[in-house]
Structure 1
Amino acid sequence: MGSDRFDVLREQVRGQVLEEGDAGYEEARHVYNGMIDRRPAAVLQVSQAADVMAAVRFARGLGIDVAVRGGGHSAPGFGTVDDGLVLDFSARRGVRVDPAARTARVEAGATWADYNHATHAFGLASTGGIVGTTGVSGLTLGGGIGYLARKYGLSCDNLIGADVVLADGSFLTASEAENVDLFWALRGGSGNFGVVTSLEFRLHPVDMVHVGIIFFDASTGASVGAAYREWIAAEPEEMGAFLGFHQGPPVPFLPEEWHGRPVTVIVGMWTGDPDAGPAHWQPMLDAGEPLGSFFAPMPYPALNMMFDGLNVPGLQGYWKADFLRTLSDDALRVAVEKSPGIPSIHTANHFYPIDGAVQRVAPEATAFAYRNVNFAPVIAAQWPEASENEANIAWVRGYWTALHEFSEPGGYLNFQDSDDQSRIEETLGSNYARLAELKAKYDPDNFFHINQNITPAPATGAQATPPAKKASAPPQRESVDLQPGAGSDAAPPEAAPAS
């Protein structure tokens, strides 16, 4: 049984409050990344927005940190916190589709598998990642890259409204019609401004798609990548496909001798007329000597869930990210050089195209400022054994350092890890100053700081107030003490639900 410390909260909420020793606490305290091992004082399994309002007020009164968990995929583990209160939305996964208006209202714990299942029933979709178990809210608040980005923009570009609980426990709705400044900040500013309890999206006609997966020897990745770079730029926006470097997965269309060996892969889908799909994929089949390939028409949700089996909870994980103006020969050379060190078949080293509709949104139109780059690379390393953490983190850092030489200063927020806090201003770019001002407006005490944190802008002039107590920093990796520069090739990761 729990202590009496949280009895007042229990009386104020409908959801269950779990403390250490309670049945379900051990399961509830964990997030996807097995490297994260934190022990919150309590976990509130949220039942409704009123629970969140009460919990925020309670935590402020008690003087404890709050972490918010949607899908739980946050690489830095922002969905949990030592000695604080976790708001767990995993039971709030409803999706209501309005097919006439082509909109969907989504609860904060929904995953993209939940979302796509609901919207596909009406032949509709919007941009949402490449893994079905990723949380809708966390991905969207940090931007939201996926197969449909070239055609329909980022996830946040399709957001049309959100319900939010602020740092004082009050509730409001943000949209183009009300609380417009907060709505602007939510679209790329991540979890800095409040707890998002539901989101509303614009939907588009997406039903059957023509899926393609092509494997090549990783040693040919520079030439294959150069061909991909020219091909994707010339393809209509109905083609959404990324370039990746992996260990060969155990799939039937890749010869067994390539399972576990470094491969280059092209993965994506053609959303136009499915019968036209083969012709659009042919140039990439001609780009080298494929080791194996798979092509088939299938429902869009099937592709979005295809790699869920490689992204199981409990793996050790460490991520790095950048933005690239172009997929240069130098960037491809680095990817090929680093491919022999890929830690496991669970590691995803991808270069995502973010041109087309993404670039038709002005940098100042949403908080997501990087609208003039063509690719978002991620080194999302995952592996089973904690004993390999130091070596694999060193590999990621070494890879990122080599790649960053040819990259922009910032990187995609959702792909950054806890030690990337120093990059937040560069990542948010030209919009950082405005975001800091809005942080000061909506969360002046930095109550929501278990995230890629935006520091509130200081008050000025007659409205200045005494400085607020400095919030504790976001939690860092506690299981590996590896500083930038350690290792032979090493170099210098919300409180709206984290994905």
Structure 2
Amino acid sequence: MAHRKSPARLAKDTRVAQFRAMAASPTATPSIAWQALAQLEATLVGRVVLPSSPDYDDARQESNPAFQAFPQLIVYCACESDVLECLTLARRHSLWVAVRCGGHSTAGYSVNNGMVIDLSEIRGVVLDPPNQRVHVLPGTDFDHFNGAMNRTGWHVPTGACGSVCVGGFVQGGGYGYTSRAFGIQSDLVLSLRVALADGTTVTASATENPRLFWAMRGGTGGNFGVLLQVTYRMVRLEQVWAWAVSWDAAHAAQVFTLLQARFMQTGAPDALGYMMNLGYQNQQPVYMAQGMFCGTQEAGMQAIAPLLAVPSAQLLVSKTGTYPDMNVWLEDHPYSLPEALPDGICETKACGYIAGPLTPAQWQAIIDYFATSPNPWSLAYLEPYGGAINRYPVEDSAFIHRHVDANLVADVFWRTPEERTKMEAWLDGLMRMVAPWLNGHVYQNYPDSRLEHFAHAYWGPAYPTLQKAKASYDPGNFFRFAQSISLPAVDAKEPQSQSGGGA
């Protein structure tokens, strides 16, 4: 048969030729030899992006433009062997490595000024219904993950944002609308395939490398190795009922108090998942819960009947369908929060866990403070726990946040340094006010670079065991970033002159 090069191979030949031409230039003096870069490009199925590449500025950007790093090289891996080639080059040239899947790290830890191993092109979903399993590659975003499972009757909890990828999400736990019914996403993991710093590839499960299996379910990405594949236990979920309810400001504190008393650790059926939102619509604060019930509309209406009985309650959404379809529907129904967010705007996030009851006056203080936001894009919301999340044994994974009512989260948005100063001061004021009502821990999938005691906040008493896992699987501290897990003999302080890493 005729032998013709694919367009991808022709493009690769062009890049290799460019790198080799630079190697012959007496003025080109990169920290990595051009010949080595040419060899890497020639070996990969994927591709190398350098500061001189036309798409470099796009490639280095995170989802949040607040983070601006300038990697020496970014490698878009297309298969496992590409990852191993990257690790070999990084060891040989002592490159500082960050691992990126979707680029959604809320502290910017999936990019750095060294080498970025990008997994966004290693994606795919393979269902195994007879064994109730699904195998997922790390760069698979939730749009693809949910889409592959749509109308199959099978389900794994995912987050609400469709562009977030599996690789980073699952290693930080992974919360979604159906987590109260089925658990944090990492609770459904059966095994992980991982590339270690020394170039070996291992399987982590309850029976193989159990310490690594324990650590990577909650220990966050970029700490132990490069995640190559996840195998989940699937659950049956034919349909969900999507719903949203709003209330007037006068009844907001009553709603928050009711939610905490009867819709978190106790009272509500596990099948009910939701978020309670404070946002702005038409420049005015809104108070809205939206979520899913794993079952029928009739059963769901019964579950939220106490919420509908609050004066001023309005049922804004009532729609039945598959989980993937309803997940998309709830993105902008009844409306989007934040509203009319400008393109390219920057975000700062903070959060903390509520573990004890708040009084109506304390809820009212949060509501009143939120109304003082300097701009109309701020968000504050509750991610309620309870159900399967809280029943999962706390000692069985590095995700420790089990005996809590909810995660209280706040996001602020800004465009200029002046706006950043104002909005972050407002955010800090909110977190100072609520600090006495929080338990001191923070959801590790919402990392905050400003946390002083991040190890305690993310992992609490699990941290020493995570350090032992680090010593076993990354004894040279190859994978590191500002809030990475330190080796047992090293104090858990932020490394000097480093600004990123992780997945």
TM-score, length-normalised on structure 2?
Answer: 0.85
Match of 2:267 in 1: 234
Deviations 1:212-234 (A, max 9, x none): 11122345321111122233131
User: What letter corresponds to residue 271 of structure 1 in structure 2?
Assistant: C
Q: Is the 8 A contact 2:243 2:315 kept in 1?
A: no
User: What letter corresponds to residue 411 of structure 1 in structure 2?
Assistant: V
- Asked whether 1:129 is paired with 2:129, we answer no
Shift of 1:454: 1.1
Match of 1:447 in 2: 478
> More displaced, 36-45 or 379-388?
379-388
- Asked whether 1:39 is paired with 2:63, we answer no
Q: Distance in 2 between matches of 1:326 and 1:150?
A: 18
> More displaced, 14-23 or 284-293?
284-293
Q: Is the 8 A contact 1:124 1:205 kept in 2?
A: yes
Structure 1 unaligned regions, length at least 5:
249-258, 460-466, 477-493
- Asked whether 1:307 is paired with 2:337, we answer no
User: What letter corresponds to residue 298 of structure 2 in structure 1?
Assistant: D
Say which one has the larger Rg.
Answer: 2
- Asked whether 1:475 is paired with 2:491, we answer no
Match of 1:117 in 2: 147
Shift of 1:473: 5.8
Match of 1:168 in 2: 198
Relative to 1, partners in 2 of residues 1:213 and 1:55: Cα closer, same or farther, differing over 3 Å? same
Match of 1:65 in 2: 96
Aligned with 2:312 (options 281, 285, 289): 289
Q: Distance in 1 between matches of 2:78 and 2:293?
A: 39
User: What letter corresponds to residue 120 of structure 2 in structure 1?
Assistant: S
Match of 1:413 in 2: 444
Q: Distance in 2 between matches of 1:181 and 1:109?
A: 24
Matches within 5 A, 1:163-242: 163-191=193-221, 192-218=223-249, 220-232=251-263, 233-242=266-275
Q: Is the 8 A contact 1:145 1:154 kept in 2?
A: yes
Relative to 1, partners in 2 of residues 1:208 and 1:7: Cα closer, same or farther, differing over 3 Å? same
> More displaced, 313-322 or 37-46?
313-322
Match of 1:336 in 2: 367
Counterpart secondary structure, 2:190 = strand
Q: Distance in 2 between matches of 1:415 and 1:440?
A: 25
Shift of 1:66: 0.9
Matches within 5 A, 1:77-116: 77-82=108-113, 84-116=114-146
- Asked whether 1:75 is paired with 2:99, we answer no
Q: Distance in 1 between matches of 2:252 and 2:133?
A: 40
Shift of 1:388: 1.6
Q: Distance in 2 between matches of 1:79 and 1:28?
A: 12
Counterpart secondary structure, 2:203 = strand
Matches within 5 A, 1:270-285: 270-285=293-308
Q: Distance in 1 between matches of 2:417 and 2:206?
A: 46
Shift of 1:318: 0.8
Deviations 1:371-402 (A, max 9, x none): 21121111133345565211111111111121
Q: Distance in 2 between matches of 1:106 and 1:433?
A: 30
Q: Distance in 2 between matches of 1:165 and 1:130?
A: 28
Q: Number of residue pairs matched?
A: 459
Q: Is the 8 A contact 1:262 1:342 kept in 2?
A: no
Relative to 1, partners in 2 of residues 1:323 and 1:424: Cα closer, same or farther, differing over 3 Å? same
Q: Distance in 1 between matches of 2:417 and 2:324?
A: 33
User: What letter corresponds to residue 441 of structure 2 in structure 1?
Assistant: G
Counterpart secondary structure, 2:81 = helix
Q: Distance in 2 between matches of 1:173 and 1:125?
A: 23
Q: Distance in 1 between matches of 2:75 and 2:350?
A: 30
Counterpart secondary structure, 2:219 = coil
Counterpart secondary structure, 1:418 = coil
Relative to 1, partners in 2 of residues 1:472 and 1:110: Cα closer, same or farther, differing over 3 Å? farther
Q: Is the 8 A contact 2:60 2:111 kept in 1?
A: yes
Q: Distance in 1 between matches of 2:104 and 2:357?
A: 27
User: What letter corresponds to residue 163 of structure 1 in structure 2?
Assistant: R
Q: Is the 8 A contact 1:326 1:375 kept in 2?
A: no
Match of 1:243 in 2: 276
User: What letter corresponds to residue 273 of structure 2 in structure 1?
Assistant: G
Q: Is the 8 A contact 1:343 1:381 kept in 2?
A: no
Q: Distance in 2 between matches of 1:283 and 1:197?
A: 45
Shift of 1:10: 1.9
User: What letter corresponds to residue 122 of structure 1 in structure 2?
Assistant: T
Q: Distance in 1 between matches of 2:473 and 2:202?
A: 11
Q: Is the 8 A contact 1:32 1:315 kept in 2?
A: no
Shift of 1:323: 1.2
Shift of 1:425: 2.5
> More displaced, 188-197 or 280-289?
280-289
Relative to 1, partners in 2 of residues 1:331 and 1:449: Cα closer, same or farther, differing over 3 Å? farther
User: What letter corresponds to residue 35 of structure 1 in structure 2?
Assistant: A
Q: Distance in 1 between matches of 2:146 and 2:352?
A: 28
Aligned with 1:320 (options 350, 353, 370): 350
Matches within 5 A, 1:8-27: 8-27=39-58
User: What letter corresponds to residue 290 of structure 2 in structure 1?
Assistant: V
Counterpart secondary structure, 2:173 = coil
Deviations 1:241-287 (A, max 9, x none): 12221112xxxxxxxxxx23111111111112333222223321222
> More displaced, 274-283 or 200-209?
274-283
Counterpart secondary structure, 1:223 = helix
Q: Distance in 2 between matches of 1:93 and 1:322?
A: 32
User: What letter corresponds to residue 391 of structure 1 in structure 2?
Assistant: K
Deviations 1:113-170 (A, max 9, x none): 2111111231111221222222222111111111111111101101111111112122
Deviations 1:312-333 (A, max 9, x none): 8733011111111135126523
Q: Is the 8 A contact 2:189 2:232 kept in 1?
A: yes
Deviations 1:188-209 (A, max 9, x none): 0012111101111111112321
- Asked whether 1:424 is paired with 2:458, we answer no
> More displaced, 212-221 or 43-52?
212-221
TM-score, length-normalised on structure 1?
Answer: 0.86
User: What letter corresponds to residue 442 of structure 1 in structure 2?
Assistant: Y
Structure 2 unaligned regions, length at least 5:
1-17, 23-33
Relative to 1, partners in 2 of residues 1:382 and 1:217: Cα closer, same or farther, differing over 3 Å? farther
